[in-house]
């Protein structure tokens, strides 16, 4: 009798362990869901590279915030695809100071300058989540991300004929300190932790397209991101 009870207990334990292990990699209760996200990111622009001149650090590190929506769709096992939409606002300093010439040929001195960008991103993430318990999941993801700027104003304080003036030309216009393209494509990657409906994520994006609109130059923008969210 004791042997039968011991055998039954061992069998039940083995089945429970196998079931838990299979759920980690293939949860049959997976369902599609919406989520909201709030982000804080650090901009890490690379050096601007000019042909026959080399690299010049014109942009300093910056930061920004964003809010967004995601839609998580399960595919095979715990593999998923996750499109999203994020609105963001970023700022970063411009290191280029000194004398400059505007489009009319007038000379002016730039005393302080910064760039303030408002835009949206459309990520398309492919990921896999590990379901350790019904409430605790760890995910890893990667994929492309479209980045489009609505506006990108370069706020600066200039000195003209001993007078201090303020201006905010668009980076997409003719009077920009650093002329920039409006659209970018990032390759995004990261990891997330879900507890019940709550979400914590870290990740980053590596710029693929040249953002400089200045001839014979290249500039790539990167960022690091921390996000908090809620899944419905």
Distances (CA, A) of 38 to 25, 43, 95: 28, 16, 29
If you ran DSSP here, which 8-state letter would residue 104 be given? T
Q: Are strands 33-43 and 59-74 parallel, antiparallel or unpaired?
A: antiparallel
**Would you state the pLDDT for residue 96?**
61
Cβ 115 vs Cβ 94: under 8 Å: yes
**129 vs 193: CA distance, rounded Å:** 9
Taken in order 214, 99, 46, 150, is the CA torsion positive or negative? negative
Residues 203-215: tens digit of each pLDDT: 999 999 999 998 8
Helix (H, G, I), strand (E, B) or coil at 223: strand
Angle, CA 35 vertex, CA 90 and CA 148 arms, to 5°: 35
DSSP class per residue in 112-152 = EEEEEEEEEEEEEEEEEEEESSSSEEEEEEEEEEEEEEEEE
Angle, CA 126 vertex, CA 228 and CA 73 arms, to 5°: 75
- The CATH class for the domain spanning 31-231 reads mainly beta
If you ran DSSP here, which 8-state letter would residue 76 be given? S
Q: If you search the block for the tokens 């429970």, which residue do you land on?
A: 16
Assigned token pair, 55: 């690299």
Distances (CA, A) of 56 to 36, 38, 76, 95: 38, 33, 47, 10
Mean pLDDT of 80-106: 80
Residues 147-203: tens digit of each pLDDT: 999 999 988 887 776 777 777 889 998 878 789 999 999 999 999 999 999 999 999
- Let me know if 225 is exposed, middle or buried by CB neighbors in 10 A (0-12, 13-18, 19+): buried
pLDDT exceeds cutoff 80 at 50: yes
**Would you state the pLDDT for residue 5?**
41
Q: Is the pTM of this model over 0.85?
A: no
Helices and strands (H, E) in the chain, number of each type: 1, 13
Q: How many CA atoms lie within 13 A of 163 on its CB side?
A: 6
Cβ 206 vs Cβ 225: under 8 Å: no
């Amino acid at each position: 009798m004791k042997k039968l009870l011991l055998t039954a207990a061992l069998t039940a334990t083995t089945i429970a362990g196998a079931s838990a292990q299979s759920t980690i990699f293939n949860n049959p209760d997976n369902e599609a869901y919406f989520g909201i996200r709030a982000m804080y990111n650090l901009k890490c622009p690379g050096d601007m590279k000019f042909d026959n001149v080399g690299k010049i650090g014109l942009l300093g590190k910056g930061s920004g915030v964003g809010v967004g929506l995601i839609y998580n769709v399960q595919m095979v096992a715990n593999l998923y695809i996750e499109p999203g939409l994020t609105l963001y606002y970023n700022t970063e300093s411009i290191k280029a100071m000194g004398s400059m010439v505007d489009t009319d040929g007038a000379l002016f001195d730039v005393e302080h300058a910064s760039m303030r960008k408002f835009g949206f991103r459309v990520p398309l993430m492919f990921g896999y989540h590990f379901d350790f318990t019904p409430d605790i999941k760890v995910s890893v993801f990667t994929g492309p991300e479209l980045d489009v700027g609505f506006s990108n104003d370069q706020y600066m304080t200039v000195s003209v004929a001993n007078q201090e003036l303020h201006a905010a030309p668009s980076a997409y216009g003719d009077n920009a300190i650093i002329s920039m393209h409006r659209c970018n494509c990032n390759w995004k990657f990261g990891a997330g932790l879900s507890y019940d409906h709550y979400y914590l994520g870290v990740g980053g994006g590596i710029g693929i397209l040249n953002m400089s609109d200045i001839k014979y130059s290249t500039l790539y923008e990167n960022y690091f991101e921390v996000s908090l969210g809620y899944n419905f």
